[in-house]
Amino acid sequence: MLIAGTILFAFYLLVAGVMFVYGIPLEFVLLLTLGFVGFQWKFGKWAALRSVKAKDVEEAEHPELYRATERLSRDMNLPMPRLMIAEMGVPNAFAIGRKKKGTVVVSKELMQTLNQQELEGVIAHELAHIRNRDVVMMVLGQSIASLVGIAVYYVMLFRGGGRSMGGFFLAYIGAMLAQMLVIVFVRAISRYREYVADADAARAIGTGEPLARALEKISNTNEQVVKQRKAQGQQGAPFDDNVSALMIFDPEHGLLRSAFSTHPPTEKRIERLRYGTF
């Protein structure tokens, strides 16, 4: 994630630098960078669905899943989202889109692992993300981080009094650190929003126990799959790592990963759901 973020930010700086060299004001450069929000939004939705090869669900194909999503959407005061299914290799689910045009994707493995009540808990969690505009917040947060980084870069470069190679390097390091600080803050908000979505889901279905059981099953199965993949020389989950931020469960662990994680520890989520400490 750090490498990908560095490359993406370097690309932003390169584009901004070329524009600035050709006499385009910095204010316009920052405004144009903000325009990348729309591109990231559209491309991100397309890439997420394509990466798991999601397909639309017809009511006749999975009537219980469709009717449960329809009922929960009505109870949570949401339009019926686009419902899709995918083979992810693990039981998982994610939501993308905005309040009036959301999409919920569930894996076939999730439907095979959970009973109906547990599945409804997961669906309610994903609908809560759509209702609370959490996906929109994440995209905006990433874009703001890029804007802050670019602004810091040019401030350090010109206030530093020189455009030497050392000046460019120090400005780039400062910009990267500023961007990372914003990202850490955005990810901390994302972890809090997971708790909020859990609480909203528990209220929607009347109890937190089904979602707690679902998280236990999802966590156990995912960890088994990850262990098997590592034993075979493969790393992480079988789906694209860029999609993991959207999933109801993120299988990766580690100290550095925790600082940048979009999800809180699963055991803490389960505890809050079971004991009502939202």
Question: Looking at residues 236-248, what average pLDDT do you find?
Answer: 58
Which range marks the domain in which residue 233 is found?
2-51+116-275
Is 105 within a domain?
A: no
Is 65 within a domain?
A: no
Supply the pTM of this predicted model. 0.81
- The residue written with tokens 């994680």 in the block is 261
Is 122 within a domain?
A: yes
- The count of domains in the chain is 1
Task: Say which residue, 111 or 255, is predicted with more confidence.
Answer: 111
Specify the pLDDT at position 226: 72
Task: Say which residue, 208 or 12, is predicted with more confidence.
Answer: 208
103-143 pLDDT, tens digit each: 999 999 999 999 999 999 999 999 999 999 988 888 778 77
Is 124 within a domain?
A: yes
Among residues 108, 125, 109, 130, which one has the least CA distance to residue 68?
A: 125
Specify the pLDDT at position 157: 75
User: Is the predicted pLDDT of residue 221 greater than 50, yes or no?
Assistant: yes
β-strand partners of 103: 82, 96
Specify the pLDDT at position 115: 95
Give dist(CA 134, CA 128) in Å, integer. 9
Judged by DSSP in three states, 54 sits in coil
Is 82 within a domain?
A: no
Please, where are the H alpha helices in the chain? 2-21, 26-34, 36-51, 63-75, 108-113, 116-131, 134-159, 165-205, 209-231, 255-260, 266-275
Is 170:156 a contact under the CB 8 Å cutoff? yes
Question: Across the chain, what does the average pLDDT equal?
Answer: 81
Specify the pLDDT at position 173: 86
Chain CA centroid to CA 69, Å: 21
Q: How confident is the model at residue 1 (pLDDT cuts 50, 70, 90)?
A: very low
Identified catalytic residue from 118, 120, 126, 194: 126
**Exposed/middle/buried for residue 247 (C-beta within 10 Å: 0-12, 13-18, 19+):** buried
Q: How confident is the model at residue 83 (pLDDT cuts 50, 70, 90)?
A: very high
Is 77 within a domain?
A: no
Task: Say which residue, 195 or 244, is predicted with more confidence.
Answer: 195
Q: For the sheet containing 93-98, what is the strand order?
A: 55-56, 82-86, 101-107, 93-98
256-272 pLDDT, tens digit each: 556 667 888 899 999 99
- For residue 126, indicate whether it is catalytic: yes
159-216 pLDDT, tens digit each: 765 566 777 788 888 888 888 888 888 888 888 999 999 999 999 999 999 999 999 9
Is 76 within a domain?
A: no
Give dist(CA 196, CA 264) in Å, integer. 11
Is 87 within a domain?
A: no
Q: How confident is the model at residue 63 (pLDDT cuts 50, 70, 90)?
A: very high
Over pLDDT 70: what percentage of the chain?
74
Task: Say which residue, 232 or 152, is predicted with more confidence.
Answer: 152
User: Is the predicted pLDDT of residue 154 greater than 60, yes or no?
Assistant: yes
Over pLDDT 90: what percentage of the chain?
35
44-61 pLDDT, tens digit each: 777 788 888 999 998 898
